[in-house]
Structure 1
């Protein structure tokens, strides 16, 4: 079916998406024109006269924010018991903030999305005390997690119904990957990021979704979160690296925070926002092979007071991958924000992704000898495809009517069309394979999501509270129509060398197949949480989530219709103790309601929805600021979850539930600058994982599939002191052995990957220039990302970015 016919059959919602697309491209053109406005016209707000008397730090900050409309984020524990001498006179915003924070032990950090965040004051480093805040004309210096800060992020954007807060005082194991690191390693997709981070296994970027299938604490976490809004399904939720400002990785069960699923952890993709100062960056590069690309990033403010902001990112990529897979990608991302009043903020974001890839690597099943596969070779025929076209719209609102209340809300919508021809190869021994081919023709998928939270601040005697009431909902719908998909099996056993020459099946034979089902998934959460501050050392976070999951499919021509609706009250409680200012310890308990798997088309019970599950997690942890730009985090945990797996039967497996997965483990994460010249991000995970209480005695004590019990990773950068602007980079990433089947008869060996790179910063034509070179998997190691998915071959990527 051609694309013209595809568009002519769009429903009214899709037609509106086309209209939105046209409007957004008009916005893009307008923003690019406005990017030519002189820098002086977009400068920071000028001097203002203040007359704010001394008082508690909280009351002074509220008065300051109301006086100039500047948003200041902080945690109650950070300002508890502190006083300010106020500020009187005529000052710029940064100057006034410096004055009112004098002797509080805090400093203000400017946020890329506007406003400021308070954090512990930076002490003397080289015999000189740094100023409380340095205001720079470089947009990169006005955001957290810069390379100069060792990629250390002080505050997270929010987690579940808990709003923005200090990373160190968050009672969960977390790791944050900022945009500077994503850019500096020339990441083509987010799979590169999860290979590097200590809390995650190297992940498969699934052909159908475009998002990584992240494994955290031995569990797969598929459904992403966008700007704090969870999705009900990964399918149809394509994401691009150019729209991401940071990746916030929560290690551990997140049921109270985000509702159903994500037992091992959750991934929040925080998208880019307008910059407070002008940003003009143009990048040209190569992702490996002949995949050349161009990317522009433009941001700033429309007005002198900084109330109207914009950000535009555009990408074009084309060429062949390192193994000869033709790729073409076009991405457009546009953001507008508006400080409507001194207390009211809103934004709207839009992303368009058009991704086409041919000859994508196949899935391998029933492997008798995994060493026969070479990941540096292509095995699929060129007619296999992976095409996605996606429109995403976000909007958020924040209202701070007074110091006691904050109202936060957000909404997300994504509409995706997919065309996929996927190959599956089944090992018959003697290095011969039979083949299966799945065709998905113009499948449409919609994802909706949103939340609304009300924060209330009050005190009972000497105990401070921030009580949050909220509701969140996420919905996924899969549309189908006649001749939407077909599956063809070729019983001819062929050698590896012949597989890429297999001709395309005659799909017309299958076009009389009955209509495939429409599948709906919904998750609703009614939440209440209280952040309780007893004193400067002790605090607690407690909450309840009444979670409901609804799943329905009308698979009449498979196994009959299947549906269920289940609700459960899932609690959480965290106790936080800070023996000294730089050290936070915590203990956390959390439960999660999880939707049973919706069985895919590659199984005998396709269309079936397995029963819902309840998981539990116990965790104790510690976070310590070794220095202002170096954070150590460690955690001990235990997770209990029902076991779901493929029995890997041939020629077609069945997806089943049996037993309880128990994962006990310890994690360690180090992030930041050890010295002025040396930055590291490293750590590891050790786990004891097994299946218990299985009805099938053969499963008792077995290891869950695709989960490694050992990981150790380190990424490092060293700025050469004798060559100004030159940094050497590199990483070593170890993943231990895993099992490909529930019976543990197919063991995938462990592997170690090595990366090397360099970055050089200089000036050309009086403009900033950054040149980056990265070589990944430099030894050409053959390895398996998952039981059916090959690893990434050796690749060399490079880029050059210039400010204009």
Structure 2
């Protein structure tokens, strides 16, 4: 949605959003004291008030002389810097916008909550939102998720500072200020995307900070991170911030250890009061042996008596999966007039994956595979499975984007228009080899001593361009203030898509040329300043899925599909401390699946998949001592008219009907600096087959911890202790599909972590 000028940071602001409130209180108090002493101290009368080294514009001598203020007692929420609540987000608009005024369902996980939960992966973050679930997120591999039951697209569903990144990476969190989750169609924001939504990472901006963090866990992992920043220049117009981390990963899965190195740079330059330049660069090297998932036994039975610590199909010649990623962002903001603002942003995201695994899959070569009619793509009924030497080196994904946006205000009589006009161009390329995917032997899930086989003698060929996808777009949004209480938001994005798929010899095997107008309209009613009600309609475009290799049309890409969404919600800010929201939604898209026929299966689009649901959430300060986040999602996800009666009318794969999440921090009044932490997650049972005849049980998870703020040698120090899965619950976290095949992944056992953060 459109961001009005009042939501754009002022030209000189160098303050991170989460410290603004505290800084404002300090400045008011400082200015009051300065003016109170001005008459008795002539020199003080000519000093600037409260610059604080943060780029805040000082008062002029004349302003001070003209100001006569009485004594003021300033009070405020001292815990503002620790808040689990954020009042604005950029993911639902083309700039920072108030969540209360944004007609979309958005959750924001703040830096404070990331720290308290000692988050390292996106899976640690999204557990705070009940609408988000794992969708093929194995240990040691890049993760993917679903929102409102729809899997996200690794090509287009992940962003940094509003610009697309390649999703085939585990994005580092050390340099992130918050993580924003937009739930629902996001065609207006980013064009061709799946209906689930978007995840946007917001980076930290330069500030005067010096911090080091040390951490370990109950398995002996080691972690070191530094956060160093400075503001410099005569007017503090320059800023730099460096984040770096090294992590030695001791996985709960046997023989699946690894390591990670990360470094990032954020640079800001206030060129003038009207122009600001921001640059972000980050690099991460991650290597870890991946832990593959299980499959249904005989295609109908969930494996039992299996441990999350077992590395299935382990072979001594398998190597860690190595992922090297680089993400670059550059943005120039210009204040053209008091009412008009523009920015130009460019980004590049490049990920190179070397996958060298011993991969368990199906039982096509096993003598027990056909027993009981077991399909070859599942483990056999007694637990036999095949092992493949799976090597795909130099698998390269690259996203490039350029976007220009103009925002401003126009008044037509008594009606105000807040306009956003923009253009965007996006390109994604994928370079791959044909790799090696060769059967080497078979084993059983209950075998305590894995059978060792020789690797395949085959060698991967060279990596070549396999996909070149280009997207151009023009977009416009008008937020029309009809009255002080009523707003109409109307927008559209015209998308032009051109895509080529190629084989290993460079021959084009598929072309897609498509253009589509993606509209979005919403009505917002604000009966009072802290309450808003909205309803909205939007349309989205999603690339068609790719057929699994075992289908009659194996590896074929289907045509793009159109999705529709209707949503209604209410948002309320209680005492400007605790935010509540309630949302109803309905989303529809064409159903894609491997359709059984006389020859086997053909991957097709037929029928309609409809997801309906209710979302409830709260975030913020519930009392002086208690801050919390809570969410609940009820989702009905069904397919109809698919042409295969067994797939119609029941809950979709991997989508629980009910999911809930809660996390809280309670400051113990009797012990200064001590805060008790705790969380609860609930997931209802999840269907594991398209027929809906197999599911995995519901589960409850409980987390506990504490945070203690103290001082060492006069420097602030924070000690954090957390225990995830406190009661060591065994559960299936994920029963999603990946390239047409279904996998089951066990959740992590009980894990304790201890960290010390020292500011110097």
| TMscore range, shorter length | 0.7 to 0.9
Q: CA deviation at 1:254?
A: 1.1
What is residue 39 of structure 2 aligned with on the other side? none
Change (3 A) 1:282 1:182: same
Equivalent in the alignment of 1:796? 752
Q: How many residues were matched structurally?
A: 685
Question: 1:599/1:476 Cα in 2 relative to 1: closer, same or farther (>3 Å)?
Answer: farther
1:638-679 CA-to-partner distances (Å, cap 9, x unmatched) read 101112246799xx9875433211111110001111111111
**Counterparts of 1:113 and 1:590, CA distance in 2:** 41
SS at match of 1:305: coil
Which residue of structure 1 aligns with residue 185 of structure 2?
253
Q: How far has the Cα of 1:546 moved from its partner?
A: 0.7
The within-5 A match list for 1:383-782 is 383-422=318-357, 423-426=359-362, 427-481=379-433, 485-490=435-440, 492-497=442-447, 500-503=450-453, 505-506=455-456, 508-511=457-460, 518-555=466-503, 561-599=509-547, 605-645=553-593, 655-782=603-730
Structure with the largest fraction of helix: 1
Tell me which moved more, 514-523 or 769-778.
514-523
Q: Look up the match of 1:51.
A: none
Q: Deviations over 1:241-293 (max 9, x none)?
A: 11321111111111122111230221111122112xx2111000025522211
- Contact kept, 8 Å, 1:421 with 1:438, in 2: the verdict is yes
- Alignment of 1:291 with 2:202, yes or no, is no
What does residue 119 of structure 2 align with? 187
8 Å Cα contact 2:465/2:502 also seen in 1: yes
Change (3 A) 1:184 1:732: same
Matched, 1:374 2:322: no
The corresponding residue for 1:314 is 244
C-alpha offsets along residues 684-706 of structure 1, whole Å, 9 cap, x if unaligned?
A: 01122210121222222132221
Residue number in structure 2 paired with 1:360? 291
Q: Deviations over 1:524-552 (max 9, x none)?
A: 32101111122321112110111233332
- 1:220–1:60 Cα change, 3 Å: closer
Partner residue, 1:346 = 277
The answer to whether the Cα contact below 8 Å between 1:559 and 1:605 also exists between their aligned partners in 2 is: no
Query: What is the alpha-carbon distance in structure 2 between the residues aligned to residue 61 and residue 543 of structure 1?
Result: 19
Where does residue 45 of structure 2 map in the other structure? none
Cα offset for 1:755? 0.9
| Contact 2:431/2:463, CA 8 A, preserved across alignment | no
CA RMSD, 1 decimal: 3.4
Equivalent residue for 1:332, pick from 263, 266, 271: 263
**Is the CA contact 1:326–1:358 (under 8 Å) kept in the aligned structure 2?**
yes
* Higher deviation after alignment, 259-268 or 416-425: 416-425
* TM-score (norm. length: structure 2): 0.83
Matched residues in 1 for 2:301 and 2:405: separation? 53
Q: Which runs of 5+ in 1 are unaligned?
A: 1-57, 75-90, 100-109, 117-127
Q: Where do 5+ consecutive residues of structure 2 fail to align?
A: 18-26, 36-50, 58-70, 363-378, 736-742
CA contact 2:436–2:458 (8 Å) conserved in 1: no
- TM-score, normalised on structure 1? 0.79
2:160 and 2:201 in contact (8 A); partners too: yes
Q: CA deviation at 1:345?
A: 0.4
**2: CA distance, partners of 1:576 / 1:645:** 38
Structure 1 counterpart of 2:133? 201
Q: 1:377 deviation in Å?
A: 3.0
SS of equivalent to 1:596: coil
3-state SS in 1 of match to 2:447 = helix
TM superposition shift of 1:799: 0.6
Instruction: Measure how far apart 1:158 and its partner are.
Output: 4.7
Partner SS state of residue 496, structure 1:
coil
Deviation track 1:199-252 (CA, whole Å, cap 9, x = no partner) reads: 312454367973x322111111233432344537523x4411113211111111
Over 3 Å counting, the alpha-carbon distance change for 1:113 and 1:290 in structure 2 is farther
Flag the 1:232–1:209 CA change in 2: closer, same or farther, 3 A.
farther
1:148-187 pair list within 5 angstroms: 149=83, 151-161=84-94, 163-187=95-119
Structure 2: distance between partners of 1:359 and 1:578? 50
Q: For 1:196, what is the secondary structure of its paired residue?
A: coil
- The Cα of 1:776 is off from its aligned counterpart by 1.0
Deviates further, 668-677 or 195-204: 195-204
Q: Provide the rounded CA distance (Å) in 1 between the counterparts of 2:361 and 2:311.
A: 13
Distance 1:461 1:755 in 2: 56
For the residues of structure 2 that align with 1:204 and 1:115, how far apart are their CA atoms?
46
CA distance in 2, matches of 1:230, 1:653: 38
